[in-house]
């Protein structure tokens, strides 16, 4: 079945009597070139396990199943389960789970599949992510330490640009620092809005996250690092002295001492700091808290 043709999508809608849900971010791919880009960008090999987020009618799932040892597809929309049963019926190496990705323990799935001998290679997460929860999905995968080797996902181009950007640019923000702390990020391809049904208002891009074995900075306390990022970018127009004041119970004077010790000018703004500089600030705050017995 040619799943990416608009007429195939309409036929399935008619047969299974379902509407595409805007609130679930259902914008389906109609361009086989984009599907190939995601599968190739992910570098799927024949002994790999693929976990797909939001299979929709299974267009990307089927392409991944051609390459991988096993594909687990996690779809929240109950109405799409009978559709997926039909479209993926020919693939014995596909399992569909009707669940919310944000409530799914991916490490448990990976361990189960490994114990069952379903794969012997890498774990690759792929997906054309629902726009409304792109950032929560990415951050949950990274923060919960999912034992995956790569994450290759499509998202709104503007979010992709933010994730990839570096210090000193307008797009650089908390999500850039957070993601780049965990991963090397590369752009696979830009995707125009015209290749989706229904057509969204914005263009998309596919990013490949290669999860680092070692994080981008050494941290004494990860939660302090993320607190500094949130505080700094939460008030991004303010100087660090003002935006960080109040973080970890440090007043302006306390923050001035921390910045002095880190060799960072207190009049700079968060958007100019590298990951290493954020880490230096967080590590000095951690030392001070330890000394103070907190």
Q: Is the dihedral of CA 113, 118, 119, 125 positive or negative?
A: negative
Out of 36, 45, 102, 111, the only residue in the binding site for ligand SAM (CB under 6 A) is: 102
In the complex, the smallest distance separating the C-beta of residue 101 from ligand SAM, rounded to whole angstroms, is: 4
Taking CA atoms, 137 is separated from 41, 89, 253, 281, 283, in Å, by 19, 28, 37, 27, 27
The residue (of 207 and 264) whose beta carbon lies closer to ligand SAM is: 207
Q: Which of residues 134-193 bind ligand SAM (CB under 6 A)?
A: none
Which span sits near ligand SAM by CB under 6 A: 10-18, 43-51, 126-134, 249-257? 126-134
Check binding of 100 to ligand SAM (CB under 6 A).
Answer: yes
Element (H, E) at 56: none
Give yes or no for a cis peptide into 198 (omega within 30° of 0): yes
The residue (of 56 and 232) whose beta carbon lies closer to ligand SAM is: 56
The residue (of 93 and 169) whose beta carbon lies closer to ligand SAM is: 93
The residue (of 106 and 270) whose beta carbon lies closer to ligand SAM is: 106
Residue 128's nearest CA partner among 164, 171, 98, 160 is 160
In the complex, the smallest distance separating the C-beta of residue 72 from ligand SAM, rounded to whole angstroms, is: 12
Is the CB of residue 125 less than 8 Å from the CB of residue 141? yes
Coil/strand/helix, residue 97:
strand
DSSP string, 186-241: EEEEEE-GGGEES--SS-EEEEEEEE-SS-SS--S-HHHHHHHHHHHHHTTTS-HH
Point out the residue whose Cβ comes nearest to ligand SAM.
54
Out of 37, 88, 113, 130, the only residue in the binding site for ligand SAM (CB under 6 A) is: 130
Instruction: Count interface residues toward ligand SAM (CB under 6 A).
Output: 22
With a CB cutoff of 8 Å and minimum separation 6, the contacts of 201 are: 193
Q: Which of residues 37-96 bind ligand SAM (CB under 6 A)?
A: 53-56, 59-60, 74-77
Coil/strand/helix, residue 245:
coil
Element (H, E) at 119: none
Site string for ligand SAM, 255-274 (x = CB under 6 A): --------------------
The residue (of 191 and 244) whose beta carbon lies closer to ligand SAM is: 191
Q: Strand 204-211 relative to strand 183-191: parallel, antiparallel, unpaired? A: antiparallel
The residue (of 181 and 209) whose beta carbon lies closer to ligand SAM is: 209
Q: Which of residues 190-229 bind ligand SAM (CB under 6 A)?
A: none
The residue ranges that bind ligand SAM (CB under 6 A) are 24-29, 53-56, 59-60, 74-77, 100-102, 128, 130, 133
């Amino acid at each position: 079945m040619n799943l990416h043709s608009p007429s195939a999508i309409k036929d399935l809608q008619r047969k299974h009597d379902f509407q595409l849900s805007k609130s679930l971010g259902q914008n389906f791919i109609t361009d086989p070139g984009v599907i190939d880009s995601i599968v190739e960008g992910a570098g799927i090999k024949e002994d790999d396990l693929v976990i797909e987020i939001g299979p929709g009618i299974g267009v990307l799932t089927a392409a991944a199943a051609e390459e991988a040892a096993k594909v687990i597809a996690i779809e929240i929309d109950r109405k799409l389960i009978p559709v997926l049963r039909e479209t993926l019926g020919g693939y014995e190496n596909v399992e569909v789970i009707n669940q919310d990705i944000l409530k799914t323990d991916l490490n448990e799935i990976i361990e189960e599949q490994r114990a069952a001998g379903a794969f012997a290679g890498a774990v690759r997460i792929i997906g054309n992510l629902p726009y409304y929860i792109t950032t929560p999905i990415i951050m949950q995968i990274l923060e919960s330490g999912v034992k995956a080797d790569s994450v290759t996902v499509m998202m709104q181009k503007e979010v992709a640009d933010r994730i990839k950007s570096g210090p000193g640019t307008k797009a650089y923000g908390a999500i850039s620092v957070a993601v780049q702390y965990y991963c090397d990020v590369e752009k696979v391809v830009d995707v125009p809005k015209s290749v989706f049904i229904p057509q969204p208002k914005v263009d998309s891009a596919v990013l490949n996250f290669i999860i680092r074995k070692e994080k981008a900075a050494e941290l004494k306390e990860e939660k302090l690092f993320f607190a500094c990022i949130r505080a700094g970018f939460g008030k991004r127009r303010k100087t660090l002295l003002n935006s960080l004041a109040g973080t970890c119970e440090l007043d302006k004077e306390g923050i001035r001492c921390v910045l002095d010790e880190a060799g960072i000018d207190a009049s700079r703004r968060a958007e100019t700091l590298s990951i290493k500089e954020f880490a230096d600030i967080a590590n000095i705050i951690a030392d001070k808290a330890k000394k103070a017995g907190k």
